[in-house]
């Protein structure tokens, strides 16, 4: 399906001020949290964004009360932040447990998911028990799926601690685990009660993970908001230096754009697919190299450059835009040249992607139509099929063939 316009307008981008305080030292004192609303009728919820939210009990004042809560985290994030979350929510529950899962995408599987059910059943958790997902996208996706399934659904709260999970995975209700035959293939749409993006948690994130998150931030520009894209270009050094105000603006605007898309198409019948810009190529890179070799955000960064090149060859954007995006992705510390899996393998992997239908590969193209026929260029996106010959040209121009010889 292809779509070219949407009835609901996105609110204009409004950048914030710069405070310059170091991230870890911040409390909410001087800077009130910002709130972005996800508007989905009776499944609506707020996303709270700000530094020091984990140290402020008011952050959790609207979270559901119950006899029990279970904080699901992992062995990396748990020691850093779990006790602080326990302290802030313990007044709301008779019992608060913490479950630290092993760390890594390799554990986003059925066996690890069962550990969550084991703990819930072992402590006779009931249908009102609240799950808190404290960690990156792996913990968030797994905890959300466990919440969707345990007793046919218990409430859950997302407390994302990576940039990627704050700007993307914790928002919008996609939950899943991996199957040996495919990533995110077993899952559910299930919305959280609240999302808490504590920007101070990003102070401990490894640089490589920060860059991976920036890929998803950059993604929102070409698909929805070129004013934001300009802002990212100007503020990339501040973002990479973890300037709190720059991060606050980037997380807030990313969530606004995701909320705008998800509010129109919760279950990906149409426009939500634009959030997959760069992901068709990116998923092929991740799967082709073996999961974990490149981080998801790294594959998406490179995949966006490939998808922009495809958009250019389909006449939707000019070469200057492809160059601009390539420079930004590279400056964010992300790869811009794909691994040489061989064009046939790329095509095979892209045909097997969850988004493909009947063997046709669908791509997210930047620009709503060819420029020559009045297309508006970057800032909007469409999904479309592309001729295989053109995809092969793009692959030839985008992969590191020197690695083969
Ligand atoms: N549901 C969605 O809509 C959606 C969207 C995009 C991605 N995803 C999923 O998200 C996952 C990737 O998420 P991710 O990039 O957050 O990876 P991740 O959850 O694996 O986290 C990355 C690493 O950072 C560590 N970490 C997390 N927070 C930290 C902190 N504050 N300080 C120090 N270390 C910290 C983690 O332990 C892990 O080692 C993938 O499984 C992907 O499929 C889901
Ligand atoms: Zn992604």
Q: For residue range 33-54, what is the model confidence (pLDDT) as tens digits?
A: 899 999 999 999 999 999 999 9
pLDDT, one tens digit per residue, over 272-292 is: 999 999 999 999 999 999 878
The verdict on residue 302 lying in a domain is: yes
The verdict on residue 329 lying in a domain is: yes
Query: Residue 343's domain is classified under what CATH number?
Result: 1.20.1090.10
- The pLDDT of residue 1: 43
Q: Which ligand is nearest to the CA of 166?
A: 1
Based on the number of CB atoms within 10 Å of its own CB, is 392 exposed (0-12), middle (13-18) or buried (19 or more)?
middle
The ligand 1 atom at the shortest distance from the C-alpha of residue 75 is 37
For residues 62 and 106, give the distance between their C-alpha atoms in angstroms, rounded to a whole number: 34
Q: Look up the domain containing 205 and give its range.
A: 7-263
Same domain flag for 340 and 396:
yes
Question: 212 CB under 6 A from ligand 1?
Answer: yes
Same domain flag for 39 and 124:
yes
For residues 97 and 86, give the distance between their C-alpha atoms in angstroms, rounded to a whole number: 8
Same domain flag for 281 and 259:
no
Question: 338 CB under 6 A from ligand 1?
Answer: no
Same domain flag for 309 and 172:
no
- The pLDDT of residue 4: 47
Catalytic residue among 279, 309, 313, 316: 279
Does the structure show a pLDDT above 80 at 399? yes
Same domain flag for 395 and 346:
yes
The ligand 1 atom at the shortest distance from the C-alpha of residue 297 is 15
Q: Which ligand is nearest to the CA of 213?
A: 1
Catalytic residue among 258, 309, 313, 316: 258
Beta sheet of 34-38, edge-to-edge order: 34-38, 45-50, 194-198, 156-160, 130-135, 68-74, 95-101
Same domain flag for 258 and 345:
no
- The pLDDT of residue 180: 85
> Hey, which of 30-39, 77-86, 259-268, 284-293 has the most confident mean pLDDT?
77-86
Q: Which ligand is nearest to the CA of 184?
A: 1
Q: Is 216 one of the annotated active-site residues of the chain?
A: yes
Same domain flag for 202 and 313:
no
Does the structure show a pLDDT above 80 at 32? no
Question: 108 CB under 6 A from ligand 1?
Answer: yes
The verdict on residue 2 lying in a domain is: no
Q: Is 296 one of the annotated active-site residues of the chain?
A: yes
pLDDT, one tens digit per residue, over 161-187 is: 999 999 999 999 999 999 888 889 999
Same domain flag for 180 and 83:
yes
DSSP strand E in 94-243: where?
A: 95-101, 130-135, 156-160, 174-179, 182-189, 194-198
For residues 59 and 258, give the distance between their C-alpha atoms in angstroms, rounded to a whole number: 22
Same domain flag for 222 and 364:
no
The ligand 1 atom at the shortest distance from the C-alpha of residue 138 is 19
- The pLDDT of residue 8: 77
Q: Is 272 one of the annotated active-site residues of the chain?
A: yes
Same domain flag for 184 and 55:
yes
Which of 169, 204, 210 to mutate to test ligand 1, by most ligand atoms within 8 A of the CB atom?
Answer: 169
Question: 133 CB under 6 A from ligand 1?
Answer: no
Q: Is 127 one of the annotated active-site residues of the chain?
A: no
The verdict on residue 90 lying in a domain is: yes
In order of 121, 266, 354, the CA distances from 343 in angstroms are 48, 34, 19
Last residue of some domain: 221, 241, 263? 263
Tell me how far the alpha carbon of residue 357 is from its chain's centroid. 23
Same domain flag for 280 and 210:
no
The token pair that represents 284 in the structure block: 């092929």
The ligand 1 atom at the shortest distance from the C-alpha of residue 76 is 37
Question: 298 CB under 6 A from ligand 1?
Answer: no
What is the enclosing helix (H) or strand (E) of 8? none
pLDDT, one tens digit per residue, over 353-378 is: 766 666 678 999 999 999 999 999 99
Does the structure show a pLDDT above 80 at 31? no
Task: Provide mean pLDDT across the span 184-199.
Answer: 97
Compute the distance from residue 344 Cα to the ligand 1 centre, in Å: 30
Last residue of some domain: 207, 239, 263? 263
pLDDT, one tens digit per residue, over 56-69 is: 989 999 999 999 99
Last residue of some domain: 263, 281, 306? 263
Q: Is 74 one of the annotated active-site residues of the chain?
A: no
Question: 74 CB under 6 A from ligand 1?
Answer: yes
What is the enclosing helix (H) or strand (E) of 126? none
Q: Which ligand is nearest to the CA of 164?
A: 1
The verdict on residue 366 lying in a domain is: yes
pLDDT, one tens digit per residue, over 214-250 is: 999 999 999 999 999 999 999 999 999 999 999 999 9
Query: Residue 171's domain is classified under what CATH number?
Result: 3.40.50.1970
Same domain flag for 158 and 214:
yes
Question: 235 CB under 6 A from ligand 1?
Answer: no
For residues 179 and 110, give the distance between their C-alpha atoms in angstroms, rounded to a whole number: 8
The verdict on residue 334 lying in a domain is: yes
- Number of domains the chain contains: 2
The verdict on residue 1 lying in a domain is: no
In order of 197, 216, 356, 368, 396, the CA distances from 289 in angstroms are 31, 20, 20, 32, 18
Helix-helix angle 279-289:343-351, to 10 degrees: 110
Q: Is 283 one of the annotated active-site residues of the chain?
A: yes
Question: 204 CB under 6 A from ligand 1?
Answer: yes
pLDDT, one tens digit per residue, over 142-159 is: 999 999 999 999 999 999
Question: 198 CB under 6 A from ligand 1?
Answer: no
């Amino acid at each position: 399906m292809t779509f070219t316009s949407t009835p609901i307008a996105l609110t204009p981008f409004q950048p914030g001020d710069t405070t310059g305080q170091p991230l870890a030292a911040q409390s909410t004192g001087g800077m009130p949290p910002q709130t972005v609303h996800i508007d989905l009728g009776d499944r609506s919820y707020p996303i709270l964004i700000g530094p020091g939210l984990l140290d402020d009990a008011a952050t959790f004042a609207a979270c559901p009360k119950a006899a029990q809560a279970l904080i699901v985290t992992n062995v990396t994030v748990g020691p850093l932040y779990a006790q602080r979350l326990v302290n802030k929510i313990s007044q709301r529950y008779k019992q608060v447990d913490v479950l630290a899962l092993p760390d890594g995408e390799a554990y986003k599987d059925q066996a690890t998911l069962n550990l969550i059910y084991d703990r819930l059943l072992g402590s006779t958790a009931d249908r009102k028990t609240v799950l808190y997902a404290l960690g990156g996208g792996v913990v968030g996706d797994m905890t959300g799926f466990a919440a969707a399934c345990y007793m046919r659904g218990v409430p859950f709260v997302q407390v994302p601690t990576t940039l990627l999970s704050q700007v993307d995975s914790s928002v919008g209700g996609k939950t899943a685990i991996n199957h040996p035959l495919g990533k995110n293939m077993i899952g559910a749409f299930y919305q959280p009660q609240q999302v808490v993006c504590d920007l101070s948690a990003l102070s401990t994130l490894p640089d490589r993970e920060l860059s991976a998150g920036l890929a998803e931030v950059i993604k929102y520009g070409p698909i929805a908001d070129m004013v934001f894209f300009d802002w990212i270009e100007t503020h990339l050094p501040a973002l990479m230096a973890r300037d709190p105000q720059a991060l606050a603006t980037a997380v807030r605007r990313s969530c606004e754009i995701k909320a705008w898309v998800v509010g129109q198409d919760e279950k990906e019948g149409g426009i939500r697919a634009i959030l997959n810009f760069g992901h068709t190529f990116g998923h092929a890179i991740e799967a082709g190299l073996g999961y974990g070799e490149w981080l998801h955000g790294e594959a998406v960064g490179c995949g966006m450059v490939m998808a922009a090149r495809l958009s250019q060859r389909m006449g939707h954007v000019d070469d200057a835009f492809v160059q601009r995006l390539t420079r930004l992705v590279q400056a964010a510390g992300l790869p811009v040249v794909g691994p040489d899996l061989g064009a046939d393998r790329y095509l095979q992997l892209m045909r097997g992607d969850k988004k493909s239908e009947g063997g046709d590969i669908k791509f997210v193209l930047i620009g709503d139509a060819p420029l020559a026929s009045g297309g508006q260029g970057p800032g909007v996106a469409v999904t479309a099929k592309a001729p295989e010959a053109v995809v092969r040209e793009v692959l030839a121009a985008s992969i590191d063939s020197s690695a083969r010889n």
